[in-house]
Amino acid sequence: MNYKLAADVVRKLRGSDNRMVILQTKDITGLFTYYYSKALFMDQKNLIENLSKNRVFEIENSNNLSALSFKDENYIIFCQTFEKPDDNIQIFDIFKQNNFIFTSTKIVKGVKISLLKKIKLYEK
C-alpha cells in the first residue's frame, strides 16, 4: 500500500479550505499520518486528539461515522482500506442522508480515496 502517495493526494484534494478527512479503518491512521504530517505523527500520545484538531478523523465502521457532524461541511475526503461490503452500504447511506454525493474516487495502491460533495437542496 502506498500511503505516501495517498497522503499526497489527500493534501492536494484538501486544498486551502481545510476539508474534513475521514480515515477508515483505524489500521491506517499511523501510516497515513507518518506521510501526511510527521509533526502530528511524532506526538503519538496525543495523535488522535491532534488529528481531530486538524479535522482528520478515524473510523472503524458506520457507527463511528454516525458520530461525526457534517453540518458545516461542503466537501469530505474519505480514505478507505479493508472495505467490508455490508458496512459500505451503511456508510454510503449515512453520506446520502447528509446530502453528500461521491464526485470522484481514486485508488492509490490499496487506499481508496473519494471526494464527496454536499448537494444543496432548494425548497420551492
In CATH, what number does 3-118 get?
3.40.190
For the chain, domain boundaries: 3-118
Phi, psi of 31 (to 5 degrees): -65, -45
Measure the CA–CA gap between 105 and 79, rounded to whole angstroms: 10
- What tens digit of pLDDT does each residue of 67-103 get? 999 888 999 999 998 877 788 899 999 999 999 999 9
Q: How many CB atoms lie within 10 A of CB 12?
A: 9
The DSSP bridge pattern shows strands 20-24 and 56-59 to be: parallel
pLDDT at residue 39 is higher than 70: yes
Q: What confidence category does residue 123 fall into, taking pLDDT thresholds of 50, 70 and 90?
A: low
pLDDT at residue 124 is higher than 90: no
Q: How many CB atoms lie within 10 A of CB 21?
A: 22
CA torsion through residues 36, 91, 61, 110, sign: negative
- What tens digit of pLDDT does each residue of 40-76 get? 999 999 999 999 999 999 999 999 999 999 888 999 9
Cell of 89: 452500504
Measure the CA–CA gap between 53 and 100, rounded to whole angstroms: 23
